[in-house]
Chains A and B, each alone.
Chain A
Amino acid sequence: MMLEKIIALSRKSSPWVAHFNSGGCNACDIEVMATLTPRFDVERFGIQLKGSPRHADILICTGPVTAQIRERLLRVYHQMPAPKYIVAVGSCALSGGVFHDCYNVLGGVDRVLPVDVYVPGCPPRPDAIIAGIVKVLQKMESDALELADYRQASAAGGGTTHVHLQ
C-alpha cells in the first residue's frame, strides 16, 4: 500500500504534457505556449512539455476535431502509454465552438476521445489552463489510489467470491 501511495504521488507530481492542435484557430495554442513560459513556471508542479506522445501523460487538445484530423488524433492518443489523460482546452475543443456546424467538423474532442477536464474560454487564459491541469492531477492521484484499493480488495476477497458463485 505504501508503494501504491508513492506511485500515486509520483503520477501526480510529474505530469508530462503533449500538445495537439486538432483544428483550432491557433489562439488556444498560443495560450498553451504562454502557459509554458517562465512567467507561469509550471515546473513547480513538475509539468514538462514533451515532444513525443510516447513520453506524455496528459494530452492537451485544442480546437474542434475536423474530419481530416480525426485519424491523427486517435493515432497520437493510442501512441501514449497508459495511464493517459486528456485536457480539452478552448470552447472549440469543448463543443466545436464557432465551428460547430461546419461541414468538416465533427464537434468537440469528446466526440472522439474520453476527455477528463474541460477548460472553457476563447481562448482560455494560461491561469485557467493551469487550473485545468491541476484538476487532472487530482484525478490522476485518486485514480491511482482507487486502482490500488481495488487490487487489494480483489486480492483479499477474490477466493470467497469464487466459492460463493459455485
Chain B
Amino acid sequence: MLLEKRRLAFTGSTDPENGFDMTVINDLFKILVFPGFLFVVNLGLFLEWVDRKIYARLQNRIGPPWYQPWLDVLKLFSKEDVIPEGASSFMFTWLPVFYLAVTVTAFLCIPVGAYAAVYSFPGDLIVVLFLLTLATIILFLLGWYSGSPFGRVGAVRAVTQFLAYEVPLVAALLTQALLADSWSISLVMARTTVGFPRFVGVHLIALAVALISLQGKLLRVPFDAPEAETEIVAGPLTEYTGRRLAFIRLAERTEMAVGVGLVSDLFLPFPARLGVFGFVISTILVTFVLSVLRASVARFRIEDTTVLAWKYILPFSALGMVLAIIVRG
C-alpha cells in the first residue's frame, strides 16, 4: 500500500503541472510522528514510567515522577561519549542507531487500535517477529563488539536465552493466528472475540505463554540473566555511555512498546473496539501484569531459564496450538 503510494507520490512530484504531492508529507507524518517514530518512542518511555511506578507501589514506595524516563534519556544525551580501547568503533557507533531503527520499523507494522498500521499486509506478523529477533541479534553484537568480557558474557547469555523464549513466544502468537485464520495483525486483532466462549481456554493458555516469554524477550526479571547487574555489571551494555546508551535505552523502550503492543493487539479485545485509547489502555494492562511478575520473583540462572522454557512452557504452548486446531475444527 505504502509502496504504491510512494510510486504515486513520485510520479506526482515529477509532474511539473501537479506540483508537490501531499501524500509524501502524509507518509512522512505517519512514519515520523503518528503512529510512527515519535509516538512509539514516547509510548515506550511512558510504559517505562508505568512499569517503574507500579513496581515502586508494590514495594510500598512512592516511585519516580512521571517525567523521569524522559529526563534519563536527555541526561544520557548530554553526557560524555567514550569509545573504549578494545571496542570496534564502527560497530560501537552504528549498532545503537541500527537497534533503534529496527525496533521502530517493527512498530510500523503494528496497528494502533483502529488506526491502521503504517505498513500492513498479509503476513506482517511474521515480519514483526523477524524484526524482534533481529533486535536480539543486535543486542548480541552490541555486547560482542564492546571489547569487554562482561559484554561478551552478557551477549552469549542473551543468545542462549533467545533460544529459550523464542519458540514459545512464536507458538503462542501462532495459536492466535490459527484461531483467527490469518497472519495479518490487523485481521487477528479484529477477530479476537470471534467464537467467544469456545476459544477462551485456548486464548488464556496462549496469553499466559506469551506474557512469560515476552518477559524473557524484554530481558526483565526473572529472565534478566543477560543484564544481571550483580554478576556481570550490565551485560552487553557495560561499556556504552552517553549518546549511544541513550539510543540503546530508547531502542529497548521501543522494543517494549512493540512487544506489549503486539500482545495487546493480538489478545485483548479493547484495541479493535476502543481505538487508540483502547490500545493505550491495553498496553498499560499488559505492562501491569509484567510489572507484577517482575516484582514478585527473583532472577533465574541462565540454565534454569532454558530448562523452564523447554520443559514447562514449551509443552503448554504446544498444547495451546493443538487445542486451537481441534477447537477450530
The answer to whether A51 touches B229, judged by C-beta atoms less than 8 angstroms apart, is yes
Pairwise interchain contact A41-B63, C-beta atoms closer than 8 A = yes
Contact B234 A51 (CB under 8 A): yes
Q: Which one of B6-14, B76-84, B167-175, B196-204 is at the interface?
A: B76-84
Interface string of B54-73 (1 = CB under 8 A from A): 00100111111101100110
Whether B71 lies near A9 (C-beta < 8 A) is: yes
Q: Does A114 contact B (CB under 8 A)?
A: no
A-side contacts of B71, CB under 8 Å? 9-10, 13-14, 46
**Segment of B96-104, B129-137, B183-191, B240-248 in the binding face:** B240-248
Chain A residues positioned under 8 Å from B67 (CB to CB): 13
A43–B61 touching, CB < 8 Å:
yes
A38-B60, A41-B62, A55-B241 as given contacts; A46 in contact with B233, CB under 8 Å = no
Q: In the bound complex, do residue B79 and residue A82 qualify as a contact, i.e. CB atoms below 8 Å apart?
A: yes
Contacting pair B240 A44 (CB below 8 A): no
Q: Is B237 an interface residue (CB 8 A)?
A: yes
* A81–B56 CB distance below 8 A: no
Please tell me the number of chain B residues within 8 Å of chain A, measured between CB atoms.
32
Which residues of chain A come closer than 8 Å to B63, judged between CB atoms? Answer: 41, 43-44
Work out how many contacts link A and B, with CB atoms closer than 8 A: 83
Contact for A81 among B52, B60, B79, CB less than 8 A: B79
Contact partners of A57 in chain B: CB under 8 A: 75, 79
Task: Report A32 CB to chain B, min CB distance, Å.
Answer: 15
Minimum CB–CB distance from B92 to chain A (whole Å) comes to 12
B233 cross-chain contacts in A, Cβ below 8 A: 51-52
A10 to B65, CA, bound (A): 13
Verify if B2 is at the interface (C-beta below 8 Å from A): no
Which of B72, B75, B233 has the most A CB atoms < 10 Å from its CB? B75
Bound together, the chains give a CA A115 to CA B238 distance in angstroms of: 25
**Cβ–Cβ contact B78 & A55, under 8 A:** no
State in angstroms the CA–CA spacing of A54 and B75 once bound together: 14
- Residues of B near A54 (CB, < 8 A) are 82, 234, 238-241, 245
Q: Which residues of B contact A44 (CB under 8 A)?
A: 61-65
Residues of chain B with a CB closer than 8 A to A6's CB: 74
Given contacts A44-B62, A51-B234, whether A81 and B241 have CB atoms under 8 Å apart is yes
Which residues 10-55 of A sit at the B interface, judged by CB distance below 8 A? 10-11, 13-14, 38, 41, 43-44, 46, 49-52, 54-55
Chain A residues lying within 8 Å of B26, measured Cβ to Cβ, are none
A14 proximity list for chain B (CB < 8 A): 68, 71-72, 74-75
Q: What is the CA–CA distance of A14 and B72 in the complex, to the nearest angstrom?
A: 5
Contact in complex: A43, B238 (CB < 8 Å): no
Are the CB atoms of B242 and A50 closer together than 8 Å? Answer: no
A41/B78 in contact, CB under 8 A: no
Judge whether A52 and B234 touch: CB under 8 Å.
yes
CA distance A11 to B62 in the complex (A): 21
**Contact: B234 with A55, CB < 8 Å?**
yes
Contact B230 A51 (CB under 8 A): yes
Whether B81 lies near A81 (C-beta < 8 A) is: yes
Q: Is A128 close to B, CB under 8 A?
A: no
How far does the Cβ of A117 sit from chain B's closest Cβ, in whole Å?
19
A57 to B241, CA, bound (A): 11
Partner among B62, B68, B82, B237 whose Cβ is within 8 Å of the Cβ of A13: B68
> Which 6 pairs of residues, A with B, have the shortest CB-CB distance?
A51-B229, A81-B80, A10-B74, A38-B59, A41-B61, A10-B75
What is A's interface to B at a CB cutoff of 8 Å? Answer: 6-7, 9-11, 13-14, 38, 41, 43-44, 46, 49-52, 54-55, 57, 79, 81-83
On B, residues with C-beta under 8 Å from A are 52, 56, 59-65, 67-68, 71-72, 74-75, 78-82, 150, 229-230, 233-234, 237-242, 245
- List 6 additional contacts besides A10-B71, A44-B63; criterion CB under 8 Å: A9-B71, A38-B59, A43-B56, A46-B68, A55-B240, A55-B245
